[in-house]
Structure 1
Amino acid sequence: MEFDKLKEIIAEVLSVDPNEITLETTFVDDLGADSLDIFSILEEVDDAFNIETEIEDADKIVTVGDALEQIKKAIG
């Protein structure tokens, strides 16, 4: 469920097909996201899951799978 919501957010922010997003998809290399895009995605994720991503945790997010792990950790 979290993965589907995450894909929806990424697809909306980056205007990409959600069906092309996998856990291994990288934000920068595969999706062409820049730091502002990633910040926007994390903002949407924080709102959608009612969590708060720490800046130092955000720096570790390279793939969609990394982002999903952060969400799961934050929501317990």
Structure 2
Amino acid sequence: MTKEAIFERISTLIKDQLHKPELTVTTETTLQEDLGVDSIALMEFIISLEDEFGLEIPDEDVEDMTCMGDMLNYLDKRLK
């Protein structure tokens, strides 16, 4: 799976979860500041990512993810 395809999928997931299909999401978009994702919404998003990509994301790895680019890079490495 290409990085572009991964990013497209995670962008769609976060837009669906937030019920905001009009959002513009870039790799620099931060989860908390730009999207207003709280800790509960973040965990729901991580669960969606785990289901979508068929992998488990440990909590300690999530702590290092502050923007969509961090998630993209993490998933790209894990999926290779």
TM-score if structure 1 supplies the norm length? 0.92
Unaligned runs of 5+ in 2: none
Q: Report how far residue 14 of structure 1 moved.
A: 1.4
- Higher normalized contact order (CA 8 Å, seq sep 6+, divided by chain length): 2
Unaligned runs of 5+ in 1: none
TM-score if structure 2 supplies the norm length? 0.88
Partner of 1:39: 43
Partner of 1:25: 29
**Structural mapping, 1:1-76, within 5 Å:** 1-17=5-21, 19-76=23-80
Write the distance in 2 (CA, Å) between the matches of 1:8 and 1:73.
Answer: 20
Largest Rg, 1 or 2: 2
CA contact (8 A) 1:27 1:33 kept: yes
Question: Which stretches of structure 1, 4 residues or more, deviate above 6 A after TM superposition?
Answer: none
CA RMSD of the aligned region, Å?
1.2
Letter matched to residue 61 of structure 2: D
Residue identity (%): 28
- Point out the structure with the larger helix share: 1
